[in-house]
């Protein structure tokens, strides 16, 4: 029982940064912008997040620093792709490389510095319920925030007029423009939201997961977040399934390796990717016809005047 609880706790911790980053990217892509710079924005968020907390001692300041860092990076991306109509794929890749390099520079001052990680919720009686108490009521604030975020995003996309307009821009920017919607401005805001989320997801790593910064500590999580968005067919509900499934299988295979199962460890390490892809593809197949891919995704829009 103890072990199961420990596993679930570590699954939640491993899945949260993926969920936050992927939520932001989902909104960005729904507006028609493909920002491949998630990894770069995350690592910048990690460096600046740790820096903020190390200097002030406040987790919240750290998290805000991470968000701002991610957002600033996404603004560079937006200037290039929306303002100057540069290719989105190339710009996104460049952004990742840039972010990894810059984060090394910024983080150089704090490498090896430890901070106190984000406190976990503790409600005297519910949290101490033997099994399940810690899982439901004993998480750090980021976990609750990430779930609130995806619920809010889902509500925004499908229940509000602004969300409808955002989806419309991603589906057909020519029509959206013809109806008089400011396509580029909407995309700018969506891209900035994506950047802030990626920065926050990056900041989660030093602030709540491992209490220090090392260069390259995001270890490809940004790419996984990007892949999750695609395999989740741009649907928020499925994104939650994908992120937790990925986190769960990565933790479980570690435990399985530790228990000495006679399967090559390389195969075990590949399992999370394999399992997530299979499940999400199966879910996509089950949907009858039609595509949820934003039709304008990744295409440059220049309004004619």
Contacting positions for other proteins (CB under 8 A):
161, 164-165, 167-168, 171-172, 174-181, 288-292, 294-295, 304-305
Could you tell me the smallest distance in angstroms from the CB atom of residue 234 to other proteins? Answer: 10
The residue among 62 and 294 lying less far from other proteins, judged by its C-beta, is 294
Q: What angle do CA 286, 288, 291 make, to 5 degrees?
A: 100
Pick 130 or 290: Cβ nearer other proteins: 290
The C-alpha atoms of residue 82 and residue 237 are separated, in whole angstroms, by 29
CA separation for the pair 116, 208 (Å, rounded): 9
CB closer to other proteins out of 25 and 171 = 171
The CB-of-295 to other proteins minimum distance in angstroms stands at 6
| Closer residue to other proteins, CB minimum distance, 168 or 205 | 168
Alpha helices per DSSP H over the chain: 2-30, 38-56, 59-78, 88-107, 124-127, 133-137, 141-159, 161-171, 173-178, 183-204, 221-231, 236-258, 265-286
Single out the residue of 86, 75, 53, 108 nearest to residue 198, CA to CA: 75
**Do 88 and 190 contact (CB within 8 A), yes or no?**
no
How far, in Å, CA of 286 to CA of 277, rounded? Answer: 14
CA atoms within 13 A on the CB side of 40: 22
CB of 177 to other proteins, least distance (A): 8
Nearest to other proteins of 123, 174 (CB atom):
174
- Tell me the closest approach of the beta carbon of residue 85 to other proteins, in angstroms: 16
CB 215 to other proteins: min, Å: 41
Between 166 and 228, CB nearer to other proteins: 166
CB of 236 to other proteins, least distance (A): 15
């Amino acid at each position: 029982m103890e072990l199961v609880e420990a596993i679930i706790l570590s699954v939640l911790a491993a899945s949260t940064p993926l969920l936050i980053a992927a939520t932001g990217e989902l909104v960005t892509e729904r507006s028609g912008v493909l920002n491949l710079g998630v990894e770069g924005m995350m690592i910048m968020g990690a460096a600046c997040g740790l820096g903020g907390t190390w200097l002030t001692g406040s987790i919240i300041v750290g998290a805000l620093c991470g968000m701002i860092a991610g957002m600033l990076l996404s603004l560079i991306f937006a200037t290039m792709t929306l303002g100057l109509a540069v290719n989105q794929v190339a710009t996104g890749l460049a952004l990742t490389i840039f972010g990894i390099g810059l984060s090394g520079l910024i983080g150089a001052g704090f490498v090896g510095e430890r901070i106190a990680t984000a406190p976990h919720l503790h409600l005297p009686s519910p949290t101490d319920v033997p099994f399940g108490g810690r899982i439901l009521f004993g998480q750090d604030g980021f976990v609750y925030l990430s779930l609130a975020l995806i619920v809010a995003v889902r509500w925004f996309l499908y229940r509000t007029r602004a969300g409808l307009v955002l989806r419309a821009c991603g589906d057909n920017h020519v029509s959206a423009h013809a109806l008089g919607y400011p396509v580029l401005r909407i995309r700018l805001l969506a891209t900035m939201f994506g950047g802030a989320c990626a920065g926050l997801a990056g900041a989660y790593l030093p602030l709540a997961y491992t209490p220090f910064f090392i260069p390259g500590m995001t270890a490809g999580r940004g790419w996984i977040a990007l892949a999750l968005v695609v395999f989740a067919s741009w649907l928020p509900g499925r994104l939650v399934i994908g992120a937790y499934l990925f986190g769960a299988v990565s933790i479980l295979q570690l435990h399985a390796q530790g228990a000495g199962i006679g399967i090559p460890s390389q195969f075990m390490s590949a399992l999370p990717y394999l399992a997530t892809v299979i499940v999400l593809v199966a879910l996509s197949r089950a949907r009858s016809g039609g595509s949820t891919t934003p039709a304008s995704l990744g295409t440059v829009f220049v309004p004619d005047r």
